[in-house]
Structure 1
Amino acid sequence: MTAFRVVMAAAILVGVSACAAAEGPQDAASGGRYAAGSFVAEAKLKTPTGADAGTARIRQKDGGLEVTVSAMGISPGPHGVHVHTTGKCEAPDFASAGGHWNPTSHQHGMQNPAGPHAGDLPNLMAGADGKGSLTFMLPGGTFEGLLDEDGSAFVVHAGADDLKTDPSGNSGGRIACGVFSAL
């Protein structure tokens, strides 16, 4: 009977470990929830008409959050791209996404002496085929701020971000938006 109990206890421990691993990547720096290097959030970008416009993914890396954007179906040239504070993307103007993610109350832009917002990224350059990609580190960011109760969104703007003018870099209207959700 004792051998049977040992085997059962081992089976239960293996089962519990497998369940914990299935919950997703984990690490101590994020409260045990997200492993460094693993993508843990994704926003599927859509235009105001609902057409696919690409994806934005975020993963925890040492020192911050890495954002990887892959856009399609947008006009050629530079586009301001930002993480926005509210996880809503209601057409036609995506104003429901709110302002830029800014938990530290800075001004907009990497070239602004009082900036940047935590959600400010460099411009995304789209080619003649309407496709563009960008990978950028948001220093010091954590997922808890992005996947909070009201969520967050990723927005592609119509024009280039001047990287200094508060509150949005004069980057124009919002042409694509996606709500971040945990993977």
Structure 2
Amino acid sequence: MRFFIVIISIFLLSSCHLMAKPKTAIKVDMYNTTGDMVGTANLTEDPKGVKIKLKLEGLTPGFHGLHIHEVAKCEQPDFKSAGNHFNPENKKHGLLHPKGAHLGDLKNIEADHNGAVDVDVLAPDATLLKGSNKSLTDQGGTSLIVTSEPDDGMSQISGNSGDRIICGEIKENKNEIDQEKPTDPTDKKDEKKK
């Protein structure tokens, strides 16, 4: 009987190892309206939400709005393909609104005198894990958008924040799966010989 329990335990532990780990970090490439890559956003799961480490260049110095939008699609030149702000709880727009905020409402960011941004932002209550209506990766993903003007925190539906000028798609990266496969053709030949 003990032998049987040990064998079952080993089987269960080994099958857990083979299961895919939940995604807890995603790198997002950020592009401007002409298709140039202007930075990155590194998203990580946090007990309070999703942390966003945002590094950008090429902005006009000053404040800009930052929002998560409902669709992972960044089509130039206006990024309207990203849809509206991510708002799974149907709240009003604005961090200052008494009936807000959208889950996609984030704090404004400030570009320095060189037009660069290097900032950490929290998306409270959001998650990268699938299975929640607050997931940034479910339903094909979401987008991270920077706007030309700062968000005023109250105006409906988007905070009077100007044009969408930078966009990045938040979704599970297919390339990360492919990176586990050999990239050298000689490695592929070696695999076939086995």
- The question of a shared fold, defined as TM-score above 0.5 by the shorter chain, is answered with yes
User: Out of 16, 31, 34, which is 1:46 matched to?
Assistant: 31
What pairs up with 1:19-168 in 2 under 5 angstroms? Answer: 19-20=18-19, 23-24=20-21, 33-34=22-23, 38=24, 40-143=25-128, 144=130, 145-168=135-158
Cα offset for 1:129?
Answer: 1.1
What percent of counterpart residues are identical? 34
Q: Deviations over 1:76-110 (max 9, x none)?
A: 11000111100000011000000111111111111
Cα offset for 1:132?
Answer: 0.7
Equivalent residue letter for 2:140: D
Counterpart-to-counterpart distance in 1, 2:161 and 2:102:
15
Q: Is this contact kept in 1: 2:142–2:169, CA < 8 A?
A: yes
SS class of match (1:149): helix
TM-score, normalisation: structure 1:
0.78
Cα offset for 1:61?
Answer: 1.0
Q: Is this contact kept in 2: 1:124–1:133, CA < 8 A?
A: no
Q: Is this contact kept in 1: 2:136–2:171, CA < 8 A?
A: no
Q: Which runs of 5+ in 2 are unaligned?
A: 1-5, 174-194
Equivalent residue letter for 2:170: F
Cα offset for 1:114?
Answer: 1.1
Q: Is this contact kept in 2: 1:42–1:182, CA < 8 A?
A: no
TM-score, normalisation: structure 2:
0.74
CA RMSD of aligned residues (A): 2.3
Equivalent residue letter for 1:165: S
Cα offset for 1:55?
Answer: 1.4
Cα offset for 1:177?
Answer: 0.4
Cα offset for 1:151?
Answer: 1.4
Partner of 1:29: none
Moved more, 133-142 or 104-113: 133-142
Cα offset for 1:66?
Answer: 1.6
Between Structure 1 and Structure 2, whose CA radius of gyration is higher? Answer: 2
Structure 1 residues 84, 16: CA separation in 2 closer, same or farther (over 3 Å shift)? same
Equivalent residue letter for 2:83: G
Q: Is this contact kept in 2: 1:88–1:96, CA < 8 A?
A: yes
Q: Is this contact kept in 2: 1:76–1:127, CA < 8 A?
A: yes
Equivalent residue letter for 1:121: L
SS class of match (1:90): coil
Cα offset for 1:13?
Answer: 8.2
